[in-house]
Amino acid sequence: MQHVKVPKDRIGTLIGEGGETMREIEDRTEVRLDIDSETGAVRIEETGDPVTALSAPDIVRAIGRGFSPESALSLLDNDLRMFDLIDLADHTRNDNDLTRQKGRIIGENGRTRELMEELSGADVVVYGTTVGIIGQPDEVEVVRRAVGMLLEGAPHGSVYSFLERKHNELTNDVSFERTH
């Protein structure tokens, strides 16, 4: 049995209309979710295959950190797909700094966050004091590095160049075979 805490404003999303999302998570991960809507505490109990149940806490955490249920459930699409979280509070001095850094990561009209998604292939959500990432390990690493660059004060242009270079590396897997 595992316990996960979800912000109160995300409990409705976790449960879904008529309990639909909760039931889908339970069915697809072979667990039972016990959600306390007063505290946001979620108890996760295995009901079937323990290996299948391993992804349930990350799915619940991802929904709690702002991902849509569809994005969170995509963790089940592929064994390598993973959920990662960067806590911005660990990298900022105070609330003003946190707000400024979140603004840098999101970008004007959300453009920087969108570019991170487009060029890495990962899903990226900025919620509260965290940046959540769902993707393949190499996609997650690209986003982590881009966020790190922004937190260290790198100009957006440099971060965009980095993302474009990594995008080309991830999508143009060129093999150097000899042609006759």
Asked whether 112 and 156 are in contact (CB, 8 A), the reply is: yes
Please tell me the predicted confidence (pLDDT) of residue 175. Answer: 54
The tokens for 86 are 């960067």
pLDDT band at 178 (very low <50, low <70, confident <90, very high): low
Of 91, 93, 92, 73, whose CA–CA distance to 83 is shortest?
73
Q: Angle 56-64/20-29 helices, nearest 10 degrees?
A: 150
pLDDT at 177 over 80: no
Query: Which backbone phi and psi does 175 adopt, to 5 degrees?
Result: -105, 140
pLDDT at 110 over 80: yes
Q: Which residue has the tokens 């900025």?
A: 126
Per-residue pLDDT tens for 11-23? 999 999 999 999 9
pLDDT at 95 over 80: yes
pLDDT band at 171 (very low <50, low <70, confident <90, very high): confident
Per-residue pLDDT tens for 29-73? 999 999 999 999 999 999 999 998 999 999 999 999 999 999 999
Please tell me the predicted confidence (pLDDT) of residue 160. Answer: 97
**What is the percent of the chain where pLDDT is above 70?**
96
Average pLDDT score, the chain: 94
Please say whether the dihedral angle defined by the alpha carbons of residues 93, 106, 132 and 150, taken in this order, is positive or negative.
negative
pLDDT band at 119 (very low <50, low <70, confident <90, very high): very high
How large is the C-alpha radius of gyration of the chain?
18
> Three-state DSSP class for 55?
coil
- Most distant CA atoms of the chain, gap in Å: 70
Q: Which residue has the tokens 């007063």?
A: 38
Please tell me the predicted confidence (pLDDT) of residue 78. Answer: 87
Mean pLDDT within 105-118:
97
Q: Report the alpha-carbon angle 80-84-88, nearest 5.
A: 165
Please tell me the predicted confidence (pLDDT) of residue 170. Answer: 85
